[in-house]
Amino acid sequence: MDVSSVEMRQLDLEKALTSVGQLKASALILVSDPLFTNQRQRLAAFALEKRLPSVYSYRELPEAGGLLSYGPSLAAYFRQAGLYVDKILKGARPADLPIEQPTTFELVINARTAKALGLTIPPSLLRRADQVLE
């Protein structure tokens, strides 16, 4: 049986989620990874099913039902990539382009998920959020 690397990573994710469930974890923190973004519906449903507060790197995960995210804006990443493509197509050498760090970070809180988990988000954190999903 030939298993692709994507299928292998999905199998690894399922094993990891099974382990999290067996370990009686008290929270779920996921770092930036395309697999997590692609599996955001599954991860959000898992966290809610296991009653785990969940923190992510990108806003797409709380939009899918996760608790909150704090991290760089994917939209800003893609805009910057587009600017670099434009420069390269106009003749710039990629090696001459500066390496840039993200400058836009977003805090997104899903108030519906917080309520479903029985959590009260402090008003000071709600005020700092770029978006609160009601």
- Summarised one tens digit per residue, pLDDT across range 93-114 is 999 999 988 888 999 999 999 9
Predicted confidence at residue 133, as pLDDT, reads: 96
Is 83 inside a domain boundary?
Answer: no
CA atoms of 17 and 52, how far apart (whole Å): 12
| Structural tokens at position 126 | 């709600």
pTM, whole model, 2 decimals? Answer: 0.79
Residue numbers of the domain that contains 110? 5-72+104-133
* 115, part of any domain: yes
In angstroms, the CA 71 to CA 123 distance is 20
Q: How many domains is the chain partitioned into structurally?
A: 1
Task: Output the six-digit token pair for 119.
Answer: 């959590």
Tell me phi and psi for residue 108, to 5 degrees.
-120, 130
